[in-house]
Structure 1
Amino acid sequence: MSDLERTNTNENRNSKSELHINVKDVPFHLSKETIAKRSAVVSSLLERNKIDELQGILRDIEADPETFKLVAKFCYGYKVKFTSDNIVSVLCIACYLGMNEEHSTDNLLGKASSFLETRVLPCWNETVNALRSGDKSLEKLADFKLVDLFFDSLIEKASYDPRLLGESNKNNREEYRPNPRRRLFDNDWKSEDVITLPLRFYEPLMIRAMESRSIPAEYIVTSVCSYAKKWVFDAEEDSVSCKKREVVEAVERLLPHQRGIISCEFLFKTLKHSIWLEASSECRNGLGVRVSKQLDTAKPTDLKILTQGHGESYSFEDIQLVRAVVTSFYSNYTNEEEEEDGEEEVSRFFKVAKLLEEFLLLAASESSSSSSSSLKLEAFVALAEITVAISLGVLRYSDGIYRAIDVFLERHGDLTESEKMEACKVLDCKKLSRQGCDEAVKNQRLPLRIVVQVLSVSQRQIRDTVAKEIKGAEDKVAEEEIRIWSDEDEMEKMSEKLLGVEIEDHHQCVVHRWKKTKKVSVWRQVKRKFGCLTINSSSSTSADACTCDVKKKNKKKKIHHHYK
C-alpha cells in the first residue's frame, strides 16, 4: 500500500466525506476537504453540492493516472517531482482544477510554472521533450499560449545554433560555429530531435523557423527531409495512410522552391509517395515542379524511383510519369522570367538527354523475361520514344539508344521478329556513328531489316568519307596551285621592280657621266680658244702656259723679218 492510499484510509475512517474519481478506469478515493483546500473548482462544487460533477471532474481532459496521482499527493502535502515528461500534464490538471495562488498560497500551478521557466525552457532537450510529452494536454492550455512559449524558446536556440534542427547535407559547407556567448546550447544539440514532435507542432514550428530568417534554409530542409523519412518512407506498412498523406502534404508546403537545395532522390521519393497516398493535386503538382526544375542534376537511379510500382515493377502508367516530369522540365524554360545564359541552357538540355539515355539503358539492363519485375516491351518502347524526343537537336548520335535496344533484346531472347522490330522502330540508323554502325552490322540480335538499313548507312558514310577526302585533296591541290601562282606573280613583280631600279640607276649614271663629259669639253674649248691648252694647268704655271704660243709666233716673225 502506497503512502497516499494509507493516508486516504486513515482520513476516511475519521471523515464521512469521500471523493471518488475515476481516471481512465483507475479509481481514486480522496478526501473532499483535502482536495478542496488546493482546488478552487472542487471547493466551488462542494459548496454548491454538485457531487455528481465532482466524480467526473477530469472527464474533459486527457489526464493520465500517474500524473493525477502526483497532483493528489501534492494536496496531501507530499513533495512533487517535476520532469519534462510530466510538467505539461501537471500544468494542465492544476490549471483545470484552479490550483492557483489566489485560492491557496504556494500552490501547484505556481510551482509547476516556476519549474517550466527555470528548468525546461532554457534547455533544448527538455523543451522538445516537454512539448512532445504534453501533446494532448496542450490543447486545454491554448488560452495560456503555452505552445507559443515553447516555439519561441526553440526558435531562439536554433537561431544561435542551427545544428539543433539537424546537420546540413550541403556539400563543401564550412562548419557552423555557434556564438561563443551561447555555449550553453552547444553541449546538448544532438540529443533531442524535433522530428519526434507530432505534425500539429512540427509544421508551425518549421514555419516560424522560415519566417525568422535567422536560420539557414539548408538546416530547415534537412529537418523536413528527416521528418518525411521517419514518418513516411521508413514508417511501417500498416501505418494509417491518412496520417502519412498529411505528412507528405505538410512536407510539400514546407519545402522551398530554390533549385539545388533539395536532393533529387528525396524529391522523387516524395513525389512517388504522394501518388501512392493519393495526396492533393496541389501537393503532387508542387513536387512535380520542384523535380523538373533540377532534372538535369538527377541520376538514372533517381528516375527509376518514378517508374517503380508497389511490387518493384515497371508499368506503362509509371513511364507516363517520366514523360510528365520531362515535359514540365521544358515548360519551365518558357515560363522563367530570368533569362539564362545560352551555353548553360544547352548544357542542361544535353544533361537531360544523356540522363534519359542512361536511364533507358538501366531499365533495359535490369529487365529479364523470366522476372516478374521485367520492363515490358510496351513500356520500353514508350520510354525509348521519350528518350528519342529529348535527344532531337541535342545529341549528335543515337548510339545510346542503340545500346539500350541491344541490351533489351539480349535480356528478352524469346521475342519474335515482329516484336524485335517493334523495339527497334525508334532507332534512327542515319544518326549512328561510324563505330555504332560497325557494331550493329555484326549484331546477330538485331532484325535483318535493321541490319540492312545499317549497311546502307555505313556505305553512305564510306562514300561521304571518300568524297570528303577527295574533295579535301582537290582543295589542297587547288590551294597549292593558287599559292604557286601567287608566288610566281610576286616573283615577277619583284623582278620588274628590281629591273626598274636597275634602269633608273643606269640612267642616273649615264646622265652623270654625260654631265661630267660635257663640262670637260667646254673647258677644253675655252682653252683652245685662248690657246692655253697644256697638260699641266696648275695655278702656278698658268701665266706661262697662256703666253707660250704667242712667244713662239713672235719668234718666228722675228726670224722671218731677219732673213728679209
Structure 2
Amino acid sequence: MKFMKIGTRLEAILTKEATRYVTLDVSSDLTVQVNNTKYLLHKFPLLSKCGLLQQLCDPTNSDNQTVELHEIPGGEEAFELCIKFCYGISINLSAHNIVQALCASHFLQMSDALEKGNLTNKLEYFFGSVLQAWKDSILALQTTQALPTWSENLNITGRCVDAIARKIWTDLTNVTWSYTYTRAGFIRKAHAGAPRDWWTEDVADLDLQFFRRVILVVRSSIPPALVGEALHVYACQHLPDELDPNSSGSVVKHREILEFIVSQIPTRKGSVSTSFLLRLLRLANQFCVSDRVVAEIMRLAGRQLEEAKLVDLLKLRSSPSCSTSFNYIDMVKAMAEHFLVEHRRTSYPDSGERQSDSERSHQSMTRVAKLIDSYLFEIAADPNLPVTKVIELTNTLPDNARADHDDLYRVIDTYLKEHPDISKSEKKKLCHKLDCRKLSTDACMHAVQNDQLPLRTVVQVLLQEHVRAAMAMSPVGLHGNVKAMLSAPTGDMAKDMTLATKGKDPMNGRMMASNVNGQRSIDQSSHEDHQRRGMTSPPVFDKATIEAVEVDQASEIAEEDDSKSRTGSKVVNFSGRPATSEVTQDGHSKKKMKPKRMPSISSMIAKLTSKLPIQKQR
C-alpha cells in the first residue's frame, strides 16, 4: 500500500468537551461548525488556501466569525485533514482516506488558483499513484461508497473502475503485483506466472454496484469462462447456502445479487459449471425471485445437464415450497426438456456432424438418462410422491436414451413397494416405458417374481427370456418372422402375440395366465428371501441349467411329434391345446385322454421354433 506524508509540524488538534482547537499563541478568530463538532481556528492560515472560506468570511473584520460547513464530504475527519494542511501539521494519506480528502479539498476550493502547491493538486497526484497499485485501486473504489455523489461528479469512481479493468486486461506474464488467490491446490512457487483468474477474489470483495461496473467493462474483452469464474467467486462470497429466516432485510439484497449474476452469465455453453447453476436455482426458490430468472437458470442448466451431479439435483428439495408441491420434479423435467432441445440442435443431420461428435452426443444422452433414473430411484421412496410425477419425468427422454432398463426397473420396483395401493391402470402407465428386451438376466428373474408388477409386464418378461433362450439354442438362426417379432417393441410384440392367440384358441389366454401364476408361486421361500435382500442381489440361475431344461423340453416335444406321425395322428395347433381325437390306420376314430399337465411357455416356444423352416448353412 502506498502512503504520502504532507507537512512537518507535529502539533495536534486538541479536544475540550465538544470543541476542538489548534494550540497557537494567537487567540482564534474563526469558529467553524461541522455537524456536532465546533472548531476554534484562525483566519490567516485558512483563508489563504480555502476559497470557500474566503467567500463566507470577511478578512478585514477582526471580530470572531462563525461558519457552518455541515455539507462537507467526509465530515469531521476530512475537514481536519484539510485544516491540518493549512496549519502545516503533518498528515498521512493512503488509499483509505485519499477519496474523502480529495472530495473535501474540492468542496473547500483548495486549488492552485489561490496558492501554488495547494492541497487539491497534491492529492490528485497521489491519487494517480494509488491507481497504479492493484489492491489500492480496489480499496479506493470501496471508499467511494461513502461519497457516491461527489465521487461520481469528480469521476473518482470511473477512474478506479478503469484502473482495475486495465490491470485485468494485462497479459499474465506481466502480472507482478500482489493479489489474493486462495484456491485449493495452488502453490505460487510451482507456477511461473499468475493464474488466469488471479483477479476474481479481489474483485469479489467489492459491493454489488462496483462489481457490476467492473464486469460490464471487462466482459467483452475477456473469455466467457473468466466472466463465469468471476460470477462464481462473487456468488460464493455474498450468497449464503441456506436462507436465514431471521434476516428479512438481507433477502432483498441477496435477490438482487442473484438476479444480476444470472443476467451476466455468458451465453456460451460451459462458461459456468452445472453444479453452480443448480445452486443458483436452489437459492432462487428460497429468495422467491421472478419466474423469468428461474426459467433462465433452468435453460442454462438444461443445456449442460449431462455434467450435473445427483447430489445437486437432490438439493432442490431443500426449499419448503418445493418439498410440499413437488416443484423440484417439474424443474428437473424442464431441464431435461431443454437438454433435448440442445441435443437435437447439435445433432441435426444437415449440420455436418462428425463421427466423434455423434458419439459424444450419444454419450451425453446416455449420461442424462442414467442421471434421471438415479434421481427417480432416490425420490421414489417418498410416500407422498404422486405417480403422475414419476410417469411424466420417465417419459421425458426418448426410447433410445437408455442403453439398458435395469435402472428404470429399479425405479418402478421401489415405487411399487412404497405405493402398493395404486390402481392397475396407473401400474400399466408406470410400466409402459419399460422395455423387457433391455433388461439384464438378473433384472428379468427379479421381475418374474415381483408380485407388484402388472401381469402383462411379467408375461412380456417371460416371453422375451424364453425366446432369447430359443434363439441361443438354434445353431442356424430363427425364421425372419420371428426375428421381426423380436425386433418390434415389447408392447407391440405382446399385443400381436395376444391377438394371434385369441384368434386360434380362446382358452390360451387363461392358460398363459395360469402358467404365470404358477411361475410366481414357485419357491416362495426363496422369493421372500430375495425380496428382503432387494433387487441388488436377485436369484441367479446358471445359463447351462436353463439351456439343459430347454433342450429336454424340446426333446420331449420332438419325441411326441414323431410318435404321433407314426400313428397317423393329426395335430391341430402348437399352442399347447390337447387334441381330442386321433385317426387310426383302419380309419376309425379313437378317443384320446387330455393330458393332466399343460405345457409351459418354454415348451410352447421350443415347439414353435421346431416348426419353423430351417435356414441352410453356407
Given the two structures, how large is their TM-score scaled by the length of structure 2? 0.63
Deviation at 1:468, TM superposition (A): 2.2
Q: Which residue of 2 aligns with 1:496?
A: none
Counterpart of 2:379 (choices 357, 360, 363) is 363
| 1:241 and 1:277 in contact (8 A); partners too | yes
1:386 maps to which residue? 393
Identity rate, percent: 22
Q: Tell me which of 225, 232, 254 is aligned to 1:225.
A: 232
Q: Could you say which residue in structure 1 is the equivalent of 2:27?
A: 14
CA 1:191 to 1:296, structure 2 compared with 1: closer, same or farther past 3 Å? closer
C-alpha deviation, 1:84, in angstroms: 1.0
Cα distance change of structure 1 residues 332 and 461 upon mapping to structure 2, 3 Å threshold = closer
* Residues 66 and 235 of structure 1: CA distance in aligned 2, closer, same or farther (over 3 Å): farther
Alignment match, 2:88? 77
Task: From 206, 212, 215, give the equivalent of 1:197.
Answer: 206
Q: Give the whole-Å Cα distance in 2 for the aligned partners of 1:316 and 1:191.
A: 37
Is residue 377–residue 414 contact of structure 2 (8 Å, CA) maintained in 1? yes
2:335 match: 325
Deviations 1:330-354 (A, max 9, x none): 2334566993544443333222211
Distance of 1:416 and 1:192 partners within structure 2 = 53
The CA deviation string for residues 348-387 of structure 1, in whole angstroms up to 9 with x for no partner, is 32222111011112334xx5xxxxxx56322x65145312
Instruction: Kindly state the Cα deviation for residue 90 of structure 1 after the two structures are TM-superposed.
Output: 0.9
Q: Are positions 1:464 and 2:467 aligned together?
A: yes
* Residue 389 (structure 1) shift: 3.1
Which letter does structure 2 place at the counterpart of 1:81? N
How far is 1:235 from its partner? Answer: 8.4
Structure 2 residue 273 is the aligned partner of structure 1 residue 263: yes
1:17-28 equivalences in 2 (<5 Å):
17-22=30-35, 25-28=36-39
For the structure 1 residues 404 and 26, does the alpha-carbon distance in structure 2 shift closer, same or farther, using more than 3 Å as the test? Answer: farther
One of 283, 287, 290 as aligned partner of 2:297: 287
Tell me how far apart the structure 2 counterparts of residues 46 and 281 of structure 1 sit (CA, whole Å): 60
Structure 1 residue 236, shift from structure 2 partner: 7.2
Q: Is the 8 A contact 2:168 2:199 kept in 1?
A: no
**1:288-330 superposed Cα distances (whole Å, 9 cap, x missing partner):** 3211211122121222233431489464222112222222222
The C-alpha deviation readout for 1:229-286, integer Å capped at 9, x for no partner, is 2112358731522221221122123221111231111111113323433434553333
SS state of the match for residue 389, structure 2? helix
Letter in 2 for 1:468: M
> Per-residue deviation at 1:161?
5.5
- Given that 2:298 and 2:331 are in contact with CA atoms closer than 8 Å, whether structure 1 keeps it comes out as no
- Could you say which residue in structure 1 is the equivalent of 2:411? 404
Larger helix fraction of residues: 1
| Structure 1 residue 221: Cα displacement | 2.1
1:147 and 2:160 correspond? no
* Mapping of residues 129-144 of structure 1, within 5 Å: 129-144=139-154
Moved more, 37-46 or 138-147: 138-147
Distance in 1 (alpha carbons) for counterparts of 2:216 and 2:412: 49
- Letter of the structure 2 residue corresponding to residue 74 of structure 1: F
Match of 2:128 in 1: 117
Distance of 1:198 and 1:35 partners within structure 2: 37
Contact 1:271 1:288 in 2 (8 A): yes
> Cα RMSD between the aligned structures?
3.9
The 8 Å contact of residues 314 and 376 in structure 1, kept in 2 or not, is answered as no
Q: Give yes or no for contact 2:224–2:268 (8 Å, CA) kept in 1.
A: no
- C-alpha contact (below 8 Å) 2:377/2:411 kept by paired residues: yes
Aligned to 2:602: none
Q: 1:273 and 1:394, CA in 2 relative to 1: closer, same or farther beyond 3 A?
A: same
Amino acid at match of 1:308: S
Query: Structure 1 residue 37: deviation in Å?
Result: 2.8
Find 1:427's aligned residue among 417, 431, 454: 431
Which region of structure 1 is more displaced relative to structure 2, 466-475 or 235-244?
A: 466-475
What's 2:563 paired with? none
Q: What CA deviation, in whole Å up to 9, does each residue of 1:418-459 have, x standing for no partner?
A: 37985785124553623212113344xx52xx1644542233
Residue 430 of structure 1 contacts residue 457 of structure 1 at CA under 8 Å; is this kept in 2?
A: no
Aligned residue identity for 1:84: A
- The one-letter code matched in structure 2 to 1:348 is S
User: 1:145, 1:345 → 2: CA distance?
Assistant: 51
Structure 1 residues 312 and 480, CA, compared in 2 at 3 Å: closer, same or farther? closer
Separation of aligned partners in 2, 1:316 and 1:121 = 52
Where 1:102 maps in the other structure, the secondary structure is coil
Instruction: Report deviation, 1:470.
Output: 5.4
| Structure 1, 158-167 or 105-114: larger mean CA deviation | 158-167
Deviation of the 1:481 alpha carbon: 5.6
**Residue 13 (structure 2) aligns with:** 4
Aligned mates of 1:65, 1:316 — CA distance in 2: 57
Counterparts in 2 of 1:409 and 1:461: CA distance versus 1, 3 Å: closer
Other-structure match for 2:71: 59
**Partner Cα separation in structure 2 for residue 469 and residue 376 of structure 1:** 44
**In structure 2, C-alpha distance between the alignment counterparts of 1:420 and 1:342, rounded to whole Å:** 40
Query: Contact (CA 8 Å) 2:78, 2:101: kept in 1 or not?
Result: yes
Structure with higher Rg: it is 1
Q: For residue 494 of structure 2, what is the aligned residue in structure 1?
A: none
- The equivalent residue for 1:500 is none
SS in 1 for 2:21: helix
Q: Please give the per-residue CA displacement for 1:160-214, whole angstroms capped at 9, x wherever unaligned.
A: 356858689999xxx9754xxxxxx99xx68971111111111111122223x2x
Q: Which moved more, 1:156-165 or 1:99-108?
A: 156-165
SS in 2 for 1:460: helix
Displacement after TM superposition at 1:134 (Å): 2.5
CA distance in 1, matches of 2:157, 2:283: 31
Partner SS, residue 33 of structure 2: strand
Is the partner of 2:111 in helix, strand or coil? Answer: coil
In structure 2, the residue corresponding to 1:18 is in which secondary structure?
A: strand
Conserved? CA contact 1:353–1:391, under 8 Å? no
| Shift >6 Å, 4+ stretches | 167-171, 189-192, 474-480
Residue 444 of structure 2: which of 437, 444, 451 is its match?
437
Corresponding residue SS for 1:103: coil
Unaligned runs of 5+ in 2: 1-10, 480-609
Structure 1 counterpart of 2:211, one-letter code: Y
Shift of 1:102: 1.2
In 1, Cα distance between equivalents of 2:293 and 2:65:
50
* Secondary structure in structure 2 of the residue aligned to 1:393: helix
* Structure 1 residue identity aligned to 2:430: V
Q: What 5-or-longer segments of structure 1 have no aligned partner? A: 179-184, 368-373, 484-564
Q: Does 2:385 correspond to 1:377?
A: yes
Aligned equivalents of 1:115, 1:223: Cα separation in 2? 30
